[in-house]
Each structure stands twice: as structure tokens, then as C-alpha cells.
A and B are shown apart, each in its own frame.
Chain A
Amino acid sequence: MIEFRGVHKRYDTGIEALKGVDIKIDAGEFVFIVGASGAGKSTFLKLITREEVANSGEVIVSNFKLSKLKKRQIPYLRRSMGIVFQDFRLIDTMTVYDNVAFAMRVVGASQKDIRKRIPYVLGLVGLQNKSKAYPMELSGGEQQRVGLARALVNNPSMIVADEPTGNIDPDMSYEIMELLTEINRRGTTVIIVTHERDLVKAFQRRVIEIRDGLVVSDTKDEEVASYEI
């Protein structure tokens, strides 16, 4: 599903964000990417979403070799994944329904499909009764659920979440993580970048730690209980 082979990434500023990273994430996995600020976690995500390009090595996502990917193919790569942001990135002037429908419209879904799919996805994240509400009328946790619904609505094979619980209180964070676990249980690959140790420990999944641009540990589910971030 996702493979990094000796990936180096150096920015124009001279900062070397990744220094030869090798990672393989299979379809259906649930993975935490952890590390301190500036360790290279965001660069890792940006390489997956093809917001950035590796200087050397190869990144393969959903059978797309990203070093050979043409610009016009990038949208099709991104359709294979749903992205969840720390700051939710919802459009304030649109209702919950329209925020989620927006993601379907931009990929050319028909009105009929949108009408059918949105109630289902909103039900999945527990927001079936909030479809007419505006983002400002929702709590942080609810806003992140909208973000999650938007990421899920086009039925992607993976969810990439960048600090999805960074802007919400601990109780809500657990609810969001439970939702992501449920999504993963249904077969979607989930990759979460986070620095919240308690959450990582509580959910007992694979943890990849990046430090100074290098993968310093890759622990499996059973090992994570003793893992210290």
C-alpha cells in the first residue's frame, strides 16, 4: 500500500527532513507515526500526499510510483486517500452536509449519489442529526467528525490523519480514535501522525517513530505497551 525505499528529502532552505527512510505499510494496517516537532513526520505525510517530492529514493502509494507521477495524475492519487487535518479545515459558510458533499462534487459525483452517500457517512461518524448545522455551531470533536466524514465520503482505501486530536479535548480525542479504529476494522488503512503518547499507548497499534529524519523504531502492536515517546 505505502512503501518508502531509501527516501531523502531536503528542502530549499537546506533542512534535511528525511535521511534515507525505509517504511512499508500494508493494506488494512493501523499505524501511528510519532516523533517530536521537526522530526520529519509532516514531511512523511506530504510525501505520501505528493505535496512534496523526494530528492532521492522511491515512494510508492497505492501502486503509484510518486517519483514518476505526472502532475495531471496527482488528483487520482489523492482520490485513493482521505486526509484529516488537525485544524479540521471546514468551510464556515457551508453546512455540515455541504462540507461533506463538497468532497464528492469535486470528484464529479452525481447529485443522486451525493444524496444517497452523505446521510450514510454522517451516520457513520454520529452526526446524522447535525447535517444542517454550520461548523461554528459544533464542538471541536464534532468538527473533526465532519472532517472525518469528508475524508471517508469518497470511499478511499486509506485515511491519512495529521494530528487529528491536536485541537480537541481528551474525551473527544478518544471518540475520534474509536471512530478511526472502527473505520480500520472495516478494511481501510489508517495512518495517524500524532505526538499524544496516551492515545498511542491506549490503542496498542503499530508505531513508527521518526527522529531527526530517520526511522528510529518500528514497533508492532504487541510491543507498543512498553513504548515510550
Chain B
Amino acid sequence: MRFNMFRYLVKEGYRSLRKNLFMSAASILVLVCCLLITGCAYLVFENVNHGFEWAYQQNIVVAYSQKGSTSEQNTAIQTAIGGMDNVSEVIFESKEALLERYSAEFGELLDDLKEDNPLQDAFIVRLKDLSLFDATVTAIEAVEGVDSVDYNADLSAMLVKIRDVVLHIGAWIILLLLLVSLFIIANTIKLTVYTRRLEIHIMRSVGATAWFIRFPFMIEGALLGTTAGTLAYGLVFGVYQVVCHYFPKTAMFQLISFADVWFTLLIGFLAGGMVVGLLGSTISTGRYLKEQTE
């Protein structure tokens, strides 16, 4: 395609958008709403995920070495557990350090234990993926020199389940809203195609190719999509700033900063808007041209 023809087609797409300004504005508005909800769903999902990351950090497994283990044996245990694929961190805490920590909490009550410390050397283990919790615990229990393992299997199972549900709901909401957006764009372009049917008929009669006829509509769809994407991005930013301002900050949980997701959201909105626009217009014009040739 020559540059002047490309320029002409882009101009035609823009002209069509302006010519059907009311319809274009209406579909941009509805699209902005869809993308706004999609963006909010994404941010909720990201924050929930962030929350679970914090919860994962709290969900630790404690492995105890057998009584009377030497420092060499403890080092071997730490190396064995630390080498497991699903283990992110292993912290060794000697029975003396444990007693000291408990003494700091309970005071003189534990003074009698200092002479004959009944506690065991411990390994605080953090896992990477809680869905592999059971298999990892079994592997830790099998490490030579490990006496017992303390963990909260119910909590980890519940966290995995909640995260999966949130992930699935979020993905379905986003998919559904993208389909709604696609439907809106396809119908807007369908109306534009209908209002320009005379031009299309003339184009066809003088020998325009299907791509030549489609291209301005694709440009129009892409412009609709990206305009809606840009507006929705601005709105999501504004809404999120307000939510962050009023959301209580606690030591346990804080909302993620917009700076962490701005790029993903921007690309998502622009690319999403453009793809939905292109796809919607391709579907509409394709159907129309097919009807005309059959």
C-alpha cells in the first residue's frame, strides 16, 4: 500500500468518526464504562494478590531437629531444606535463641529452664507456592535429622482456594467486559457501515478491494477503542487516587501504589481498546461485505 493511499484511508477513518460524532461519542462513553470496570477489576485483583503475598509470608512451616543435634547436623538440615524448589527461605533458630525470645515475652517465668533447655533447634521455612504445600511438608519431614514439622495446613489450603476463586472471578469479569466492548464497537461500526452504504456500493462498483473498503472502518474502530482506553485510564487513575486516600493503612495490608501498575494498565487499556476496536470493525465490515457478495 502506497503512503498516500494509507494517508487517505486514515483520513477517511477519522472523517467517518467525526461525521458520526454523536454515535461515536455514545459508544466511547459506554466503552469507557466497560474499560473502567475492567481496570477496577484488575486493580482489585492485583491488590488481593498483594494481600495474599503478605498472608503467604505469615504462613510458615517450622521444622525441628532431633534433640542433641550437632551444629554440623543442623547445617546439613538447613542446606537440604533450602535446596528444595518450593522453599524461598530457611532461617535457623537455635534452642538458646528460642528460649531467649520466649523469655523476653514471658519474663522470669522461664528462668528455671535456662539450666536444662527443653526446646529444640528450629528451622523457619517459607514456601514459594502454597498449592504445593503438602508435598513440600512431606519432603521436609523426610530430611534426615528432622524430628517434627509444625504447620497450619488448613490456613494454606484456604488461602490457595480464595486466591484461585478471586483469580477466576477477576478473569471472567475482564473477559465478559471485553466481549461487551467488542459488541459495542461492532454495532457502532455496523451503523457507520449502514450510513455509508452508498459510498461502499460505489467503491465496489469501481473496483475497490475488500481491504480498501474495510481499512477506514478499522481505523475508525481503532480510534474509538484507543480514545475510550485513554479516557478510561485517566478515570481509573483518578478513582484509584481517591480510594488510596480513604483506604485505611495497616501494618498487615496496604494498597499497592499506582506507580507499580501504571505501565501495565496503560498498555492494557491502549492495546485492549485498539484490539477490540479493530476486531469489532473487522467483524462488522466483513459481515456486511459478505452479505453483499452472497
Contacts and interface: CB of A to CB of B under 8 A. Distances in A.
A113 to B, nearest CB: 11
B201 A89 contact: yes
Contacts of A14: none
B199 A91 contact: yes
B142 to A, nearest CB: 67
A203 interface: no
A75 to B, nearest CB: 4
A108 to B, nearest CB: 5
A93 to B, nearest CB: 8
Interface stretch (A1-9, A76-84, A119-127): A76-84
A106 interface: yes
A15 B169 CA distance: 55
Contact of A75 (B4, B8, B199, B207): B207
A12 to B, nearest CB: 10
B208 interface: yes
A46 to B, nearest CB: 11
Contact of A154 (B4, B206, B209): B206
B204 interface: yes
B202 A71 contact: no
Consensus secondary structure, chain B interface: helix
Nearest to A103: B206
A78 B209 contact: no
B237 interface: no
A106 B293 contact: no
Nearest to B5: A108
B2 interface: yes
A102 interface: yes
A108 B205 CA distance: 15
B91 interface: no
Contacts of A110: 2, 4
Contacts of B208: 75, 106-107
A108 B2 contact: yes
A49 B205 contact: yes
Contacts of B199: 91, 102
A110 B8 CA distance: 11
A21 B210 CA distance: 31
B198 interface: yes
B207 A78 contact: yes
Interface centre among B2, B5, B198, B202 (most CB of A within 10 A): B202
Nearest to B213: A106
Contacts of B198: 89, 91
Contact of A105 (B8, B201, B204, B209): B8
A59 to B, nearest CB: 16
A102 B205 CA distance: 12
B201 A75 contact: no
Interface in B1-60: 2, 4-5, 8
A106 B206 contact: yes
A116 interface: no
B183 interface: no
Contact of B202 (A79, A91, A154): A91
Interface string B117-142: 00000000000000000000000000
Query: In this complex, which of A49, A77, A108 has the most chain B Cβ atoms within 10 angstroms of its Cβ?
Result: A108
B206 A107 contact: yes
B10 to A, nearest CB: 13
Contacts of A106: 203, 206-208, 212
Contacts of B202: 89, 91, 102-103, 150
Interface string B78-104: 000000000000000000000000000
Given A89-B198, A102-B202, A107 B207 contact: yes
Nearest to B292: A51
B164 to A, nearest CB: 47
Given A89-B201, A91-B198, A91-B199, A150 B4 contact: no
Interface of A: 49, 71-72, 74-79, 82-83, 89, 91, 102-103, 105-108, 110-111, 150, 154
3 A-B pairs with least C-beta separation: A79-B207, A106-B208, A78-B207
7 contacts: A74-B293, A89-B205, A91-B199, A102-B202, A105-B5, A106-B212, A154-B206
